[in-house]
C-alpha cells in the first residue's frame, strides 16, 4: 500500500512529491503519463518564477532543473497513465491504463488542464512562439505593443482587460456579434479605450518565420475582408479542457465535488470533499494557472497528506 499516490508530474505533482518524501513519507509514487515537467515544458521561456531569470532558457530547461531535487528524497516515478481513482473503505485503488491496480492511503491528483485550440493556420506552428494561451505568462513580452485576443467568453474578455493595462492596443476577435461573456464584463471592456472589439471575424492565419510570430490575418466572415495585423502577439482563449477523467468512475460520475466547468472543488488546504483525496494545480477551482501557484498547491497538499496519515495511526 502506498502512503501517497500522486497523479500528474507537472509543477504541482513534482513539488507534492518533494514535500511528501522530504517530510518523511517512505512510499510515495508519482504516476505521469509522459516525461515529468508538465505544460510549461512547451514554453520557449519563463520569466515570472522568482529565482530563475535566465532569458536563454526554455520551459524544458527550467523543469529539468527540478527533477534531481524532487527525486532526491525518495519520490518514485512510474511513466504510466492513470485511468481512474476509486475509494474503497479507507483507502484508494488507482487503476492504471491496461488494468494494473495499485492501492494507496492517500491520493493527490494534479493532472492539469489543457487550453483548447481554435484550429486556424499557424496556431500549432507558432504556439509558444507568439501564439499564447496565458496573458499572465506572456503579456509582458508585448509591453506597449499591440496584441490580438481570440474568443468571446469570460476568459477572453477578462484576459483582454488584463492585457490592456500592459499593451498599447488589444484587438478582441470574436466569431459572432454577441458575446458569451457576462454583460458587466462586456460593459467594462467597452469602456476601456485601448480595447477594440472585432466581431463576426475569425483568425484566418498566424504567420511568421524562424524567430516566431510576425502577425495575424483576420477575416470578416460576412464580407470576407482580410485585415493584416502585423507585429501583434496572439492570445487564444477559446475554452479549457480540465484533465479530470481520473476522478470519474466507470459510469462517468465524479467521485468528488466539481464545479460546472469540471474543476475540482477544494478548500485552502487542497482537500476535496472525499477524505484522503487532494487536488491541486491547474485542475482546481480558481487556479491562477501559473507554475508558482501549482508548486505552492503541491506543497500544501503534501503537508496535508502527512497530517492525515499521522492522524490515521
Say whether residue 240 binds ligand NAP (CB under 6 A).
Answer: yes
Instruction: Pick from 2, 3, 8, 232 the residue near ligand FAD by CB under 6 A.
Output: 8
Catalytic residue among 3, 110, 138, 282: 138
Cβ nearer to ligand FAD, comparing 39 with 201? 39
User: Is residue 115 within the footprint of ligand NAP (CB under 6 A)?
Assistant: no
- Please, which residue, 125 or 158, has the CB nearer to ligand NAP? 158
| Cβ nearer to ligand FAD, comparing 201 with 290 | 290
Joined together, the cell numbers standing for residue 287 give 487556479
Q: Are 90 and 107 in contact (CB under 8 A)?
A: no
271 binds, among ligand NAP, ligand FAD, none (CB under 5 to 8 A by kind): none
- Which range of residues in 33-41, 140-148, 179-187, 265-273 is near ligand FAD by CB under 6 A? 33-41
Stretches 74-82, 129-137, 172-180, 207-215: which one binds ligand NAP (CB under 6 A)?
172-180
Q: Give the residue, chosen from 148, 289, 300, 305, that forms a contact with ligand FAD under the rule CB under 6 A.
A: 289
64-93 residues near ligand FAD, rule: CB under 6 A = 81-82
Q: Which of 257, 275, 292, 312 binds ligand FAD (CB under 6 A)?
A: 292
Angle between helix 183-191 and helix 154-164 axes, rounded to 10 deg? 20
- The answer to whether residues 147 and 159 touch, using CB atoms and an 8 Å cutoff, is no
Q: Which of 5, 40, 147, 156 binds ligand NAP (CB under 6 A)?
A: 156
Pairing, β 91-96 against β 101-109: antiparallel
Site for ligand FAD, residues 141 to 180, rule: CB under 6 A: none
Q: Which does 156 bind (CB under 5 to 8 A by kind): ligand NAP, ligand FAD, none?
A: ligand NAP
- Reading the block at residue 199, the C-alpha cell is 466581431
Distance of CA 114 to the CA centre of its chain: 6
Say which of 4, 70, 110, 134 is annotated catalytic.
134
CB 235 to ligand NAP: min, Å = 12
Partner in contact with 3, chosen from ligand NAP, ligand FAD, none, beta carbon below 5 to 8 Å by kind: none
Catalytic-residue membership of 138: yes
- For 307, the grid coordinates are 497530517
- With CB under 6 A as the contact rule, the residue among 101, 225, 261, 273 that binds ligand NAP is 261
In this structure, what is the dihedral angle of CA atoms 194, 235, 293, 273, given to the nearest 10 degrees? 110
**Closest residue to ligand NAP, based on beta-carbon distance:** 153
Q: Is 110 a catalytic residue?
A: no
Q: 31 touches which of ligand FAD, ligand NAP, none (CB within 5 to 8 A by kind)?
A: ligand FAD
The set of catalytic residues is 134, 137-138
Amino acid at each position: 500500500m502506498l502512503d501517497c499516490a500522486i497523479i500528474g508530474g507537472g509543477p504541482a505533482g513534482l513539488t507534492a512529491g518533494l514535500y511528501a518524501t522530504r517530510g518523511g513519507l517512505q512510499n510515495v509514487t508519482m504516476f505521469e503519463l509522459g516525461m515529468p515537467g508538465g505544460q510549461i515544458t512547451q514554453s520557449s521561456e519563463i520569466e515570472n518564477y522568482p529565482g530563475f531569470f535566465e532569458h536563454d532558457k526554455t520551459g524544458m530547461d527550467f523543469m529539468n532543473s527540478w527533477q534531481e531535487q524532487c527525486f532526491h528524497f525518495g519520490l518514485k516515478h512510474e511513466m504510466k497513465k492513470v485511468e481512474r481513482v476509486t475509494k474503497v473503505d479507507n483507502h484508494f485503488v488507482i487503476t492504471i491504463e491496461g488494468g494494473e491496480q495499485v492501492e494507496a492511503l492517500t491520493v493527490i491528483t494534479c493532472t492539469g488542464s489543457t487550453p483548447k485550440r481554435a484550429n486556424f493556420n499557424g496556431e500549432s506552428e507558432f504556439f509558444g512562439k507568439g501564439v499564447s494561451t496565458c496573458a499572465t505568462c506572456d503579456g509582458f513580452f508585448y509591453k506597449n505593443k499591440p496584441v490580438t485576443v481570440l474568443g468571446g467568453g469570460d476568459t477572453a474578455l477578462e484576459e483582454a482587460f488584463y492585457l490592456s493595462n500592459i499593451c498599447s492596443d488589444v484587438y478582441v476577435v470574436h466569431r459572432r456579434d454577441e458575446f458569451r461573456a457576462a454583460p458587466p464584463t462586456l460593459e467594462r471592456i467597452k469602456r476601456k479605450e485601448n480595447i477594440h472589439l472585432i466581431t463576426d471575424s475569425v483568425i484566418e492565419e498566424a504567420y511568421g518565420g524562424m524567430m516566431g510570430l510576425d502577425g495575424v490575418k483576420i477575416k470578416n466572415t460576412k464580407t470576407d475582408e482580410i485585415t493584416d495585423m502585423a507585429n501583434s502577439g496572439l492570445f487564444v482563449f477559446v475554452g479549457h479542457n480540465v484533465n479530470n477523467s481520473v476522478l470519474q468512475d466507470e459510469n462517468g460520475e465524479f467521485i468528488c465535488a466539481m464545479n460546472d466547468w469540471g474543476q475540482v472543488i477544494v478548500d485552502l488546504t487542497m482537500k476535496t470533499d472525499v477524505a484522503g483525496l487532494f487536488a491541486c494545480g491547474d485542475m482546481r477551482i480558481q487556479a491562477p494557472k501559473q507554475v508558482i501557484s501549482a508548486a505552492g498547491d503541491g506543497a500544501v497538499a503534501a503537508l496535508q497528506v502527512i497530517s492525515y496519515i499521522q492522524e490515521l495511526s
